[in-house]
Structure 1
Amino acid sequence: MFEKMSPNQRLILAVVLSFVFFIVYTAIFPPEMPESAEQNVTLKERVGTEATTPAVTDNGVGHTVAVSEKVANPDATKLVTVESSEFTLKIDTLGRIVSKVLKDKKYYVDDKPTELIAQEGAQPLFIRFADEAINAEALKVPYRADASSLTLDAAGTKSVTLTQTLSQVTVTKTLTFYADGHYDIKVSLSKPMRYFLYVGQHAEHKGQMMMAVHGVMGYTADGVSNIFEDGDVEGRTALRDVKLLSAFDQYFASIFYGLDPEVIVNIDRDRSDNPIAYLEATDSLSFNGFIGPKDYRLLESINPVLVNAIEYGWFTWAAKPLFGFLLWLHGFFGNWGWAIVALVVVIRLVLYPLTYKGMISMQKMKDLAPKMKELREKYKGDPQRMNAAVMELYKKNGANPMGGCLPLLLQIPVFFAIYRVLLNAVELQGAPWMFWIGDLSRMDPTYILPILMGASMYFQQKMTPNNFTDPMQEKIFKYLPVVFTFFFVTFPSGLVLYWLTNNLLSIAQQYMVNKQYAKIKAARHEAHLAQKEHNGGEA
């Protein structure tokens, strides 16, 4: 079947199969989750319960890093509550940030606020000591605080000091909170002692797409984003000169930044091979932190280095500038849906010259299909002569068998880049478009967009020239709109809107090209007749 397909058809099929594989694989083989909470427990951290630590190696770190069991009710062990107009944050008696809830309803899921702190695993600012005996004591002795509640106004800051007095050392954590969600922290010990401070693990949030990358990132001074994905961590990695350390999911992150270049950042694994990140120190540490949405404008306003927490996987090189342009368009239109539509229009305009040549080439290939079939039949037993004859036919008629491929090849990275952008843009959460789309980050509850997308794809197929010689090929391509509609039903509305707009513009462009090519053919036909008449009836 495949040897009878044209280069364009083979390329289109490859693109489609790649796309389908990309979606189906991540749906069938999502990252492995722990079978139960008990399998994820190597360190019990609840106040008043017996605590154990993993075996400590000569470097003070066990092979499997300590991970807490499910956190007790944050209110039951609450030590400090921080309130602002944007969030509520809670610190427990072990000096950990155990809860942060955003008040903006665009972040709600099922009319409930989203908890940004993982209720299983290591929580932000948790300290573990290398000394096993001190560590066991630290898990039983509660911190004291010089304030039980802080209320932040729009421009102000508030500080709290936490103190833990142990038999051999006193730990002091001084935190200063800002209304925009970031904080400053200084950790000091009464005497040098080796300890580890955790950035926390990301929470699991309902409704987030499986295809989004979740895990830990260490962004270093050389501009490299070291990504450690959930379920894919094999051992411990140490990083230095880290500008940003992030435990992240699709939309939110717990971040440390402003670290001293000499601070060692370790990324280890839990028993589910998920990453756990922590700082290693023996004395005082001073740095900054942030827990919240990966909103570009918010992160940039706090510190420009934080925008590096927004990561798009393999297509970051193309996705970052595309998102920057999308952000600019949003500033112009004031609506994310119309910004997406405008982005597609601009991309189509940029690619128009190449797309036009590709469409003309496909028209020529369609016209030459009968002659190519004749040549294949004529030189069936002589492939060399057949290829030479076919190439001569292309040359004589100004056709390029690869002419339609380049525009498609250029659109592949653009599509996957915009896919990553729209999949990871927290700005789309709660962003409406038209009257029936209330949230561009979620599927269309009315199915209108995916149905229109499938219909537009079907209509586009009808308008696009083809030269199928195999009925099976024709059937496969005929049902592609149905297949794509099925996959796009659960996709974020913003992504479906992008694809639908792209299809509509392709239809408009194909219509114009078909009209122009018909005129070109008519002119050629008239010229041919005139030449024939001039030659006395001979072609």
Structure 2
Amino acid sequence: MNQNNGMQKRMLIMTLIVFVFFIAYEFLVLKPQQEAKAALAKQEQTQKQNVAPDVNSVDTKMVSTDVNGNPVDMSNSTDALSSKSIATSQIVSTIKTAKSTIEIDTLGRVAQVTLVEEKYKDENANQIKLFESNQLRPLEVRFADANINADAFKVNVVASLANVDATTSSQELVLTQTLNGTVLTKKLTFYPDGHYDLNVSTTNEKQFFITNGFRPNVLADMYAVHGFISKLNDNTLKTIEDGKLDKNENIIGAKFLSSFDRYYTTVIYNFEKSLSITLMPDTKSNPQGFIHGGSDVTFSGFIGPKNHRDLAALNPELIDVIDYGWFTFIAKPMFLLLQFIQGYVGNWGWTIVILTILIKLVLFPLSFKGMVSMQKLKDLAPKMKEIQAKYKDDKQKQSMHMMELYKKHGANPMGGCLPLILQIPVFFAIYRVLLNAIELKGAPWMFWVHDLAEMDPYFVLPVLMGATMYLQQKITPNTMQDEMQKKIFQFLPVVFTFFFLWFPAGLTLYWFINNLFTIGQQYYINSVFERKRAEKN
């Protein structure tokens, strides 16, 4: 049993160390790399005197087919530039919806989507643009016939309208591309909510493939999953993260395909007639999805935020576009509860507070058992030391007497660890929910927090979180005998405070409230044991 006690300590320490490393890697490694890359891109852009890259020179691709008729990329792609500006000479039609501005380029692709709602602004207070200027663009068509395909990247499309106003009602746009051997026609209907219906057809039954494009590139970090996800006819989900696709892969019978970062998606869906998809890796092994269009295909699409209500309004199955990782089965109902509470409270910050309290109340029986076990072990610590000293040369007798001691006093060395382990899935689920919830974007709480999806500008919440973590540590019974282990735990509040300085305020708020109520629970347990000790004396 003494071995079990040591195992408990090692598991606790390992869990905390892994989590600290998880945070440290993002801040100390990935963030500097991203900043250096951004600085280099900015320098390159300045040297080019802010001239936007030529779409044709960047995106022109040659495609042939393999023996199965799947598209094979024969181009040499270049590293993505950071600039999101598109030359006006490359835009043939601009569509305005109530929630976005969509720009169509000379090859009939979606060149850029700008979110127009007030809350969707970047760090420079500009409306968020979803795509890099030279990435694989949504609605790009590639032909099975290599000669026609080459022609398709040289001939401009003709748009039926240069400007489309779909802010209050649906509007149609027709894009026609007359090629050597076929005419490609895209008939689009845009709706005020930003989604669209599309029929793509060719004459002479020329076979083609069409893509939903590379994912939006607004926020892609190590915390949240980003890459590709598809829902199949059997309702299973297939997710491939960026950097994880090393060869072509076929998907037969898909309801939707989505390319996404933390908050945004470009999704194509058809719930009446399933889609066949070929995934192709780019030069960085990122997944790129191509739908087998045949000579005529119809589907719907949406490019924008992964807002739960907006996706559900299009089709309830599109909620699966939001991927919470391993604990999705817990995270989904937890988000629904969060959304339900917010419907009554009206403020996302106070909703997080209420949800945290509810979770603490539901998990209190588990927490109570763990805290009671820790108190018992603390009371038995002197006797445990005596046994360890008396039988230090006989581990078998030491374990036997330890087991007798635990049995006599009803203590369980794993009692403090097991409840913690059982709560881990719940913790990570709420962590993923708050990390992926675009609903927190632009949502205020109190007078100094104006955006729960961004860091606390005055570091109030991280400091409070660190202070409560320190206080919680001080009042929690510590049964550790090793001085090094004690020092590691004593230093953790400082480490966590440091890294939480840059965490989204909503996530830090959750952790702070969680600590606050854990302190209350611990005070209660401590007082119960103090009364019992007083009664014995």
Structure 1 residue 151: deviation in Å?
0.8
Aligned CA distance change for structure 1 residues 65 and 345 (closer, same or farther; 3 Å): farther
Q: Does 1:232 align with 2:232?
A: no
Aligned partners of 1:27 and 1:210 also within 8 Å: no
Alignment partner, residue 535 of structure 1: none
Q: What corresponds to 1:508 in structure 2?
A: 520
What is the one-letter code of the residue matched to 1:136? A
CA distance in 2: counterparts of 1:209 and 1:72, whole angstroms: 22
Shift of 1:85: 3.1
Match of 1:447 among 421, 442, 459: 459
Q: Which amino acid aligns with 2:95?
A: V
Aligned-partner Cα distance in 1 for 2:70–2:414 = 60
Give the C-alpha shift of residue 486 in structure 1: 1.3
Are residues 165 and 147 of structure 1, via their aligned partners in 2, closer, same or farther at CA, if it must alter by over 3 Å? same
For the structure 1 residues 262 and 460, does the alpha-carbon distance in structure 2 shift closer, same or farther, using more than 3 Å as the test?
closer
Q: Does 2:526 match 1:517?
A: no
**Deviation of residue 314 (structure 1)?**
1.4
Q: How does 1:75-474 map to 2 (within 5 A)?
A: 75-109=88-122, 110-154=124-168, 156-205=169-218, 209-258=221-270, 261=273, 263-474=275-486
Deviation per CA, 1:194-250: give whole Å up to 9, x if none.
211010112322x65432221111111222221111122111111111111001111
Measure how far apart 1:459 and its partner are.
0.5
1:62 aligns with 2:72: yes
Q: 1:150 to 1:186 in 2, by over 3 A?
A: same
TM-aligned CA deviation for residue 521 of structure 1: 2.1
Name which of 502, 505, 511 aligns with 1:499: 511
- Assess if the C-alpha contact under 8 Å between 1:67 and 1:121 holds in 2: no
Alignment of 1:14-29 (within 5 A): 14-27=14-27
Q: Which amino acid aligns with 1:22?
A: F
Q: CA separation of 1:189/1:72 partners in 2, compared to 1, >3 Å: closer, same or farther?
A: farther
Aligned equivalents of 1:409 and 1:153: distance in 2? 50
Secondary structure of the corresponding residue to residue 290 of structure 1: strand
| Cα separation, 2, equivalents of 1:293 and 1:91 | 19
Write the distance in 1 (CA, Å) between the matches of 2:346 and 2:282: 43
**Distance of aligned partners of 1:276 and 1:49 in 2 relative to their CA distance in 1, 3 Å threshold:** closer
1:53 corresponds in structure 2 to: 62
3-state SS in 1 of match to 2:304: strand
Counterpart AA for 2:436: N
Asked if the contact 1:241/1:260 (under 8 Å) is kept, the reply is: no
In 2, distance between residues paired with 1:317 and 1:444? 30
Code of the residue aligned with 1:178 in structure 2: it is: Y
Deviations 1:345-387 (A, max 9, x none): 1111111112112111111110101001111111122211111
Distance 1:279 1:389, change over 3 A: same
- CA shift at 1:52, angstroms? 5.5
Q: 1:403, CA displacement in angstroms?
A: 1.3
On the 8 A contact 1:4/1:470 being kept in 2, the answer is no
TM-score normalised by the chain length of structure 1 = 0.90
Larger Rg: 1
How far apart are 1:120 and its partner, in Å?
Answer: 2.0
SS at structure 1 position matched to 2:134: coil
Which whole-Å deviations, capped at 9, do the CAs of 1:233-268 have from their partners, x for residues lacking one? Answer: 111111111111001111110000016655321111
Structure 2 SS opposite 1:256: strand
Q: Shift of residue 77 of structure 1?
A: 1.6
Relative to the length of structure 2, the TM-score reads 0.90
Deviations 1:477-523 (A, max 9, x none): 11110011112111111111111111000100111111111112222
1:10 and 2:10 matched: yes
Match of residue 50 from structure 2:
none
Distance 1:63 1:91, change over 3 A: closer
TM-superposed deviation, 1:191? 1.7
Q: CA RMSD in A?
A: 2.6
Shift of residue 19 of structure 1?
1.2
In structure 2, what is the Cα distance between the partners aligned to 1:57 and 1:444? 52
SS at match of 1:217: strand
2:180 counterpart SS class: coil
Q: Is the Cα contact below 8 Å between 2:451 and 2:505 reproduced in 1?
A: yes
The structure-2 alpha-carbon separation of the partners of 1:216 and 1:318, relative to structure 1 and needing over 3 Å to count, comes to same
Counterparts of 1:470-485 in structure 2 under 5 Å? 470-485=482-497
Q: Per the alignment, in what secondary structure is the counterpart of residue 101 of structure 2?
A: strand
Q: Secondary structure at the match of 2:18?
A: helix
Using the aligned pairs only, state the percent identity.
43
CA distance in 1, matches of 2:87, 2:272: 31
Q: Is the 8 A contact 2:63 2:149 kept in 1?
A: no
User: Which stretch has the larger CA shift, 135-144 or 249-258?
Assistant: 135-144
Instruction: Answer whether contact 1:138 1:166 (CA < 8 A) is retained.
Output: yes
Asked if the contact 1:344–1:502 (Cα under 8 Å) also holds between the matched residues in 2, the reply is yes
Rate the CA distance shift 1:315–1:254 in 2: closer, same or farther, 3 A.
Answer: same
Q: Which amino acid aligns with 1:149?
A: N
Is contact 2:137-2:214 (8 Å) kept? Answer: yes
Q: Contact 2:59/2:134 (CA < 8 Å) preserved in 1?
A: no
One-letter amino acid of the structure 1 residue matched with residue 286 of structure 2: N
Correspondence for 2:48: none
Change (3 A) 1:21 1:401: same
Deviation (angstroms), 1:410: 2.0
CA distance in 1, matches of 2:73, 2:150: 18
239-248 or 11-20, which deviates more: 11-20
- Aligned CA distance change for structure 1 residues 63 and 100 (closer, same or farther; 3 Å): closer
Residues 47 and 141, structure 1, Cα contact 8 Å, conserved in 2: no
- Aligned partners of 2:360 and 2:350: how far apart in 1? 15
After superposition, the Cα gap between the structure-2 partners of 1:284 and 1:450, relative to the gap in structure 1 and judged at 3 Å, is same
1:299-354 superposed Cα distances (whole Å, 9 cap, x missing partner): 11111121110001112122111111111111121111111111111111111112
Contact 2:65 2:72 in 1 (8 A): yes
Q: Distance in 1 between matches of 2:58 and 2:365?
A: 70
CA offsets 1:366-425 (integer angstroms, 9 cap, x no match): 010100111111112221111111111111111111111122112211121111111111
> Equivalents in 1 of 2:8, 2:70: separation in Å?
59
Partner of 2:500: 488
d(CA) in 1 for partners of 2:99, 2:422:
42
Deviation at 1:60, TM superposition (A): 5.3
- Distance in 2, Cα, partners of 1:515 & 1:106: 47
